[in-house]
Structure 1
Amino acid sequence: MQTANLRRGYILGLSAYIIWGLFPIYFKAIASVPALEIIIHRVLWSALCGSLLLLFWKHPGWWRELRDNPQRLAVLALSGTLIAANWMVYVWAVNNGRMLEASLGYYINPLINVLLGMLLLGERLRRMQWLAVGLAATGVAQQVWQVGSLPWVSLMLALTFGFYGLIRKKAPVSALPGLVVETWMLVPLALAWLLFNPMAMSAQPEFWTTSQALWLAAAGPVTLVPLVCFNAAARHLPYTTLGFLQYLAPTLVLILAVALYDEHLSPSTLITFAFIWAGLAIYSVDAWLNLRRRG
């Protein structure tokens, strides 16, 4: 039974990260729609699909907990704003030839999490963690020196997702109910945007007779399916295993950027990636050794 659970966990975990890694193909399919408008519909369709999913995938008592702890709603409003900003930057990057920077952002993210834990949660870094963070910082610094500007797409993705995870850590709400509440709190803003932008592509009746409309409506399932797979995998796999699997998504984005969408991998960008990869390798080895010591 244990072997069956592990196998199921690996399949679900791989499914989640492969879907996340293939996201650029989906967003390229609706590249004619402005990035902000895509996010507006991602909010609306995610709210709708998430609500329907909650009818079948029971989370007893989640609404009562939120009602009895209204401060969690304010926290979810903030986390919803952060994840919407993350989606916005990611979609813009994919549809503007910046997929390499998007990939780099999600490689940096685990190291950002380590820093946030130290600065905001009072966690102490071990020597190897300091080395990992130092290598990542060196990679970003050499990119600034070579290119003359910060890799802002990478840093925005890493920081918004890092702070999102930190805030959700402080709000003890299950993943799916939390995402549903986050998106529903953004729904009034999304509807207001559509109301005050009558010339938007999706505000035109003829748009909904095109294939682009179907792609746009798919934003809900596309958002929720990997999340459901991830949360199911988390119940069957050790957390460190999920930590290693998470690098699959940015690796797929990197491969797609270079092999399918002809983005140029310059020597300076490759050096930056090399520093980040070295930092991640040290970070992963440190996590594994620490787990063994505790075991």
Structure 2
Amino acid sequence: MTNDHIVDSSFGYYINPLMSVFLGVLIFHERLSRLKWFAIAIAACGILWMSFRLGHMPYISLGVALTFSLYGAAKKGLHISPFVSITLEAFLVLPIFLGYVIYLGETGTGHFLIGNTVYTVCLIGAGVVSALPLVLFSVGANHLPLNVLGFCQYISPTISLLIGIFLYNEPFNATQMTGFGVIWLSIIIFTISDIREQIHNEKMAKLAKKNA
């Protein structure tokens, strides 16, 4: 975000749910329908096509997708409550970032506790703004249907994409547009498959309840 890669990061967050699904198969041995595998294959083709056209792999996008999906897989494997997990995460990285903040202060390039109260308050508030969506997402995952939750995951990258293009005037060429289009197509196919599976499962559950 700081280095004008908002569009690249939004592309990564579009890929993230599909990457999470792949990790679910790889790590937790979850099963996918043929249509979902087809959706993942389309997304992979979109990434490879963009890499070929741009002359390099979209490292930032893939880095965002891979790290965040691994983060989700770790949370799923540990089975820790949202508040406890985020608190532990904060304490784990605290020594590293505290040292970095002290270093910035000593070299005169920091903004935290350096004479400007507004900067200090905003930096503290940024921590709250960062943690609150993670907590709400964890809580929502336990209360929302999977199709609703999956759809909500695409609201944030869509907003980021629009901000990057129209507010910060980041470049968005035909290659990127085609790559995004392929990813969107894979998302639509995956969502349709997921909805069909849920409808089928609900029908089977009702039938089993009726027979019982």
Instruction: Name the counterpart of 1:152.
Output: 59
Matched residue count:
201
Of 140, 143, 148, the match for 1:241: 148
Instruction: Name the counterpart of 2:194.
Output: 287
> Are residues 1:193 and 2:100 paired?
yes
| Aligned partner of residue 208 in structure 1, secondary structure | coil
Tell me how far 1:204 sits from its aligned partner: 7.4
For 1:1-295, list aligned pairs within 5 A.
94-197=1-104, 198-199=106-107, 201-202=109-110, 207-209=114-116, 211-295=118-202
- 8 Å CA contact retained: 2:16, 2:68: yes
| Aligned partner of residue 202 in structure 1, secondary structure | coil
- 8 Å CA contact retained: 1:202, 1:208: no
In 1, the alpha carbon distance for the partners of 2:147 and 2:192 equals 10
In 1, the alpha carbon distance for the partners of 2:29 and 2:146 equals 21
Tell me how far 1:236 sits from its aligned partner: 4.0
In 1, the alpha carbon distance for the partners of 2:197 and 2:115 equals 54
Identity over aligned residues, as a percent? 32
Q: Which moved more, 1:283-292 or 1:191-200?
A: 191-200
RMSD across aligned positions (CA)? 1.8
Q: Which moved more, 1:130-139 or 1:229-238?
A: 229-238
| Aligned partner of residue 172 in structure 2, secondary structure | coil
In 1, the alpha carbon distance for the partners of 2:56 and 2:158 equals 24
In 2, the alpha carbon distance for the partners of 1:263 and 1:196 equals 32
- 8 Å CA contact retained: 1:258, 1:265: yes
| Deviation >6 Å, runs of 4+ | none
CA gap 1:157/1:170 in 2 versus in 1, 3 angstroms: same
Instruction: Name the counterpart of 1:49.
Output: none
In 1, the alpha carbon distance for the partners of 2:112 and 2:120 equals 11
Tell me how far 1:163 sits from its aligned partner: 0.6
Gaps of 5+ in 2: 203-212
Residue by residue over 1:45-65, the C-alpha shift from the partner in whole angstroms, topping out at 9 and shown as x without a partner, is xxxxxxxxxxxxxxxxxxxxx
In 1, the alpha carbon distance for the partners of 2:27 and 2:140 equals 28
Q: Which moved more, 1:150-159 or 1:186-195?
A: 186-195
Q: TM-score, normalised by structure 2?
A: 0.87
- 8 Å CA contact retained: 1:194, 1:200: no
Residue by residue over 1:172-209, the C-alpha shift from the partner in whole angstroms, topping out at 9 and shown as x without a partner, is 1101110001111221222233345521533775x332
In 1, the alpha carbon distance for the partners of 2:171 and 2:27 equals 37
Q: TM-score, normalised by structure 1?
A: 0.64
- 8 Å CA contact retained: 2:17, 2:153: no
Residue by residue over 1:249-280, the C-alpha shift from the partner in whole angstroms, topping out at 9 and shown as x without a partner, is 00000111111111121000000000100000
Gaps of 5+ in 1: 1-93
